[in-house]
Structure 1
Amino acid sequence: MSITLQDIEVILGILVDGLPVTGSTAKQWNVVCRELLGHEPPPVIPNSNKSTLTGARIKYKWLDEQFPAPPAADAGDEVVHQHAHYHILVRMGALLFMDKSADQVSLLPLQLLNPISNARRYSWGSAALAWLYRQLCSASKKEVMQIGGALLLVQLWAYSRFPQLCPIVRPPLPPVHSGPLAIRYVH
């Protein structure tokens, strides 16, 4: 038994058909942030773990400080797109492409969201499953103490395959008419 692409699509409702999620890692990520998020992170501090931007990874804390509130009702399209980029990036980093640091998010998906309408063109489910398998493989080493990846998917997959593990005790559920299977576990 293993988590499959079908599980990602059925359980989380994430697209598995489309273009592969690939892109360049050799970018000026501060420029990408300025163009798509409207904010440029502070300069990198060499040999320091206090840098906001390290390679293609940026600290959640800095991102959250740049977007403390929703855009104003009369905000222009550019500001709305910047906020949308921020929210999509944070959700992807927290749900699909989580790593062990838990305080940084990869900017790699951001390059595929320009324009934002490109999001539906890509197979995010395939990329999330590949990342999850990589994280599970790394976690199998005896010295590793943490795990990353789409752990919500792992939990919901276990609940659906092994109902006795599910902590929620309810009467039989009505049929789910639309949406991902994960809706069953939402109160």
Structure 2
Amino acid sequence: MAHGGLPELLQQRYDENHRGRMIFTGQQLGPLRARSVHKIKELDPRFHEPLARAGLLPFALMMAGAPMEVGGRTPLPAIDEALLTGLVDRWRPETHTFHFPFGEMAVTLRDVAMLTGLPIRGAPLIVSRPAREQWKGYVADRFGVQYDGKDAGLSMSWVHGLTQFGPCPLDADENTLMQHYEVYLYVLLGGIMFCNTAGDYVVPHIVWLAAHLASHPYEPTSYSWGSAVLAATYRGLCDATQRTKRKATITGCLHLLQLWS
């Protein structure tokens, strides 16, 4: 403990706006929100092969509730916003570690692989942000519905409200099946793996990534999904340390953080 009654780790100038400093000095901050996290109620068995080829099947099964050995499914616990907020308040952006009373800890690539089943070897995930005309035009051509919403991305309520994308018909042709698969990827990638601060929106680069995966569903891919998820989560934690306004959000893969905790 040094001058001002603050712990040494909260004395650097960088931390003047850190949530941890403000709480220590008596300011009342509410919990961060996880408003972009979505649930997957069902995982169509016909998606298993393309998800396996993409390296996403173990994680997708877990998000849908992994089957138990003796019937039923094991539901994932709801996101605990208070728990995640407590982790943010212990996060150090300079070292990418949590500073607990007993020492430092960090989420590692090994943790990601063990907890989520996402591959940590392979090509880096690099996705460019398409122009507004590109991704909106693509959605209109692909699904036959014009999207006139915000440029921030596809509204999740709009995605879920597409009547033609209820349960995929058992006699669906390949094109219809892949349309359903692509919408599923919007939720898996944009609403779970890479939660964002744009609200309930699938951001344009996720739309582009889902389009790529759905257009090559049976070709093996070698993306290091685990590395991308961990990097996004680190960035989300760093950003969240500076969020002190009411209804502020936390981003990244929040299920990963909760499982790790």
Asked if TM exceeds 0.5, the reply is yes
Please report the RMSD computed on the Cα atoms of aligned residues, expressed in angstroms: 2.1
**Deviations, residues 30-74 of structure 1 (Å, cap 9, x unaligned):** 133245x5244433xxxxxxxx2414x210011111154112222
Q: Quote the residue 2:143 is aligned against.
A: 38
1:19 equivalent to 2:129? Answer no
What SS is found at the alignment partner of 1:54?
coil
Cα distance between partner residues in 2 of 1:119 and 1:156: 28
Q: Which runs of 5+ in 1 are unaligned?
A: 44-51, 159-187
1:29 equivalent to 2:132? Answer no
**Deviations, residues 140-174 of structure 1 (Å, cap 9, x unaligned):** 1153532111111111101xxxxxxxxxxxxxxxx
1:157 equivalent to 2:260? Answer yes
Does the aligned pair in 2 maintain the 1:112–1:119 contact within 8 Å?
A: no
Cα distance between partner residues in 1 of 2:203 and 2:143: 17
Which one has the largest radius of gyration?
2
1:112 equivalent to 2:212? Answer yes
Aligned partner letter, 2:137: V
Does the aligned pair in 2 maintain the 1:30–1:40 contact within 8 Å?
A: no
TM-score by length of 2: 0.51
Name whichever of 15-24 and 82-91 sits farther off: 15-24
TM-score by length of 1: 0.70
Cα distance between partner residues in 2 of 1:41 and 1:4: 42
Change (3 A) 1:73 1:142: closer
Change (3 A) 1:118 1:100: farther
Cα distance between partner residues in 2 of 1:115 and 1:34: 20
Aligned partner letter, 1:105: V
Aligned partner letter, 1:129: L
Runs of 4 or more off by more than 4 Å in structure 1?
Answer: none
**Deviations, residues 1-26 of structure 1 (Å, cap 9, x unaligned):** 21111111110111222221112213
Aligned length: 148
